[in-house]
Structure 1
Amino acid sequence: MTATRTAPHGRDRGQVTVEFLGMTPLILLTLVLMWQFVLLGYTFTLAGNAADEAVRAGTAAKPGARQAACVQAGTDKLPGAWSGTVTCGGGGGYVTADVTLKVPVLFPGSIGFPFEVKGHAGAVEEAKD
């Protein structure tokens, strides 16, 4: 009586495919989370840069137009997909700017998370000669 044996690797046929399909949702979730963290970091960068630019414009503007120049410069530095506010203030020779942005969910311009990212900057007014 001869027994036929199947090769041990014959029973494992397709195992790699099944394991890959089982890991695909975890891989996709990891990529989505990494992308969301990139958007969060980029939003922090945008808020800080917009606040810096707003203060720079506010310190260089004439005293009567300081507020408008500050807000305009901060708003101009924000891409259209990021919604937020720019407020400028200060006094006594000091100009401040606060930028508040919403962090987009997966795609800029879409819905935002319920929390906001804030950027703040301040500088001394330039002397006018």
Structure 2
Amino acid sequence: MPRLLPRAAAPAVCAAASRPQGLRARLRAARAARTPRPYRPGRALRSDRGQVALEFLGWLPLLLLVALICIQVGLIGYAAQQAGTAARTAARMDSLHGEGGAAAGRAAVSGWLNPSLSGGPAGDRVTYTATVRVPSLLPGLLDIDDATRTATMPYDGGRP
């Protein structure tokens, strides 16, 4: 519905315009004429339409990069933890039973990591080194070294 009269003229055209206006009514009309309409949060200006979408699209690559970095750091930590578990399990199994350390070390970690174990008895101890390839989210761009952990256990009941 279009407004026919300007905002300042609206109070003077009402039905009560025939009688003289009081001081409060005149002050209210003057204040309404010189102050702009208040901002209403639910209504966006026509020139701002799509602004939030454009700002989000600007931040989206940065947010995705931060997410990829966080996931990659988590994969590095997981691979290092699994390498330590494989080395510790292999050394412990070999120190207790005298054999089967490498198989126990491989069975102790997630199958998709496929650790490589090397080592064995050395004097009165058993030492194993486990190496796990760190998975990369961007294989061509990120070249991450393998996670390597070493564990040494004394003989507890196996061969002397």
Give the TM-score category using the shorter length. Answer: 0.7 to 0.9
Question: Residue 87 of structure 2 contacts residue 105 of structure 2 at CA under 8 Å; is this kept in 1?
Answer: yes
* Aligned residue in 1 for 2:118: 87
Question: Residue 83 of structure 2 contacts residue 115 of structure 2 at CA under 8 Å; is this kept in 1?
Answer: no
* Aligned residue in 2 for 1:60: 96
* Aligned residue in 1 for 2:12: none
* Deviation string, structure 1 residues 49-70 (Cα, Å, up to 9, x no partner): 11111111010113xxx3xx11
* Aligned residue in 2 for 1:44: 80
Bigger proportion of residues as strand: 1
Q: Displacement of 1:95 after TM fit?
A: 0.4
1:1-129, aligned counterparts within 5 Å?
A: 9-62=45-98, 66=99, 69-106=100-137, 113=143, 115-127=145-157
Q: Displacement of 1:92 after TM fit?
A: 1.6
Separation (CA, whole Å) in 2 of partners of 1:81 and 1:72: 15
Question: Residue 44 of structure 1 contacts residue 119 of structure 1 at CA under 8 Å; is this kept in 2?
Answer: yes
What fraction of aligned residue pairs are identical, expressed as a percent?
30
Q: Displacement of 1:78 after TM fit?
A: 2.3
Q: Displacement of 1:114 after TM fit?
A: 5.3
Separation (CA, whole Å) in 2 of partners of 1:80 and 1:121: 20
Separation (CA, whole Å) in 1 of partners of 2:144 and 2:59: 31
Query: What are the ranges of 5 or more consecutive residues in structure 1 without an aligned counterpart?
Result: none
Relative contact order, CA 8 A, sep 6+: which one is greater?
Answer: 1
Q: Highest CA radius of gyration, 1 or 2?
A: 2
Q: Which moved more, 1:112-121 or 1:23-32?
A: 112-121
User: The residue matched to 2:113 in structure 1 has which SS?
Assistant: coil
Aligned length: 117
Q: Displacement of 1:89 after TM fit?
A: 2.0
Could you say what the CA RMSD is over the residues aligned between the two structures, in angstroms?
A: 2.6
Question: Residue 103 of structure 1 contacts residue 113 of structure 1 at CA under 8 Å; is this kept in 2?
Answer: no
Query: What are the ranges of 5 or more consecutive residues in structure 2 without an aligned counterpart?
Result: 1-5, 7-38
Question: Residue 95 of structure 1 contacts residue 125 of structure 1 at CA under 8 Å; is this kept in 2?
Answer: yes
